[in-house]
Amino acid sequence: MSILDSDFMRLAFATGAFVGLLAPSVGFFLVQRRLSLIGDGLGHVAFAGVAAGYLLGLSPVLTALVVTVAGAVAVEWLRTRRAAAADQALALLFYTGIAAGVVLVSAAGALNVNLFSFLFGSILTVTRADLLLVAALSAVTLALIALLYRGLIAATLDEEGARISGVPTGALNVVLAALVGVTIAASMRIVGVLLIAALMVLPVIAASRLAWSARSTLLLSMGLGLASVLAGLTTSYYADLAPGGTIVLVAAAAYAGALGFARLRGLLGGSR
């Protein structure tokens, strides 16, 4: 029996393919801005959103989407207004998110297997509705990144210089924060809220060891993200492992491989 004979695996692969392309494309800008851990903090906020969905009887993906985007914009606000240092803003977000999630889950009486599928990812619970939502969110996010690519790069390379020259860096930062929230909400079914940040970061830092420009880093990271998800899902299916963790371990292995390749290339006298 082929892995794609099962309807749930076809759904998981299709949804995972979108997630594999989406997460590194947004993570690329976070990594370049030294904000890699923001995805982790927002994953905890997404957990609170999932719990709110259970409590209110709404779709956990939709409530997580709303709560995570709001959390992302709040962190950006705290960071730019210097109301809190970047690490303090992150800590505030991290702990408030997880605490709110625990309280809401206990209030909803929802400490069950379905909740764990959001925390750690599950290939069994992906529905056709999930696929459509993830596809729509991915299409919108990738289109926005393509449209705003030059502005996002300008703000990433020299935010103050860009702002002084009239680039609307504040609006770009808010859009990027919102896209991080969207990515986490879209990806949590496959990778889980606790591990999604890894898929936003690991393919990017692996790609930057191999790439020759910013654009090639972005495209290569999307390729590595896609490959990590597909290889991780396949491995988790045959070895009966948790898909989220397996995907992230494959991405970590890709980073180790990229690092080894870059070192070997350096020893042989090649370019970066």
Partner 1 sequence: MSLNVVELSGVSYAYPSGPLVLSDVDFSVEAGEFVAIAGPNGGGKTTLLRIALGIERPASGRARLFGEPARNCSHRERVAYLAQRPQLTVDAPVTVRELVAAGRVPRRGLWRPLHAGDRSAIADAIEKVGLSERTGTPLARLSGGQRQRALIAKALAGEPELLVLDEPTAGVDTDAQESLALLLEQLHKELGVTILFVSHEFGAVEHFVERLVLVRGGIVFDGEPMALAAHWHDPSHVHS
Given candidates 13, 18, 28, 237, which one binds partner 1 under the rule CB under 8 A? 28
**Residue pair 204/213 in contact by the 8 Å Cβ criterion:** no
Tokens describing residue 24: 């590194």
Burial of 72 (0-12, 13-18, 19+ CB in 10 A): buried
Map residues 98-137 to x or -, x wherever contact with partner 1 holds by CB under 8 A.
----------------------------------------
* Residue 268 near partner 1 by CB under 8 A: no
Given candidates 62, 164, 256, 264, which one binds partner 1 under the rule CB under 8 A? 164
* Residue 87 near partner 1 by CB under 8 A: no
**From 103-111, 159-167, 228-236, 245-253, span contacting partner 1 (CB under 8 A):** 159-167
Amino acid making up residue 93: L
- Among 233, 201, 203, smallest CA distance to 221 is for 203
Nearer to partner 1, 109 or 166 (CB): 166
**Residue pair 89/79 in contact by the 8 Å Cβ criterion:** yes
What is the closest distance, in whole angstroms, from the C-beta atom of residue 2 to partner 1 in the complex?
A: 38
Amino acid making up residue 16: G
Task: Report how far apart, in Å, the C-alpha atoms of 147 and of each of 120, 140, 195 are.
Answer: 33, 11, 28
User: What's the CA gap between 50 and 61, in Å, rounded?
Assistant: 7
Tokens describing residue 169: 């860096």
* Residue 263 near partner 1 by CB under 8 A: no
Residues 209-228 binding partner 1 (CB under 8 A) are 211-215, 217-218
Amino acid making up residue 97: G
**From 19-27, 39-47, 92-100, 206-214, span contacting partner 1 (CB under 8 A):** 206-214
Residues that bind partner 1 (CB under 8 A): 28, 31-34, 147-148, 150-151, 153-154, 156-162, 164-168, 172, 204-205, 207-208, 211-215, 217-218, 271-272
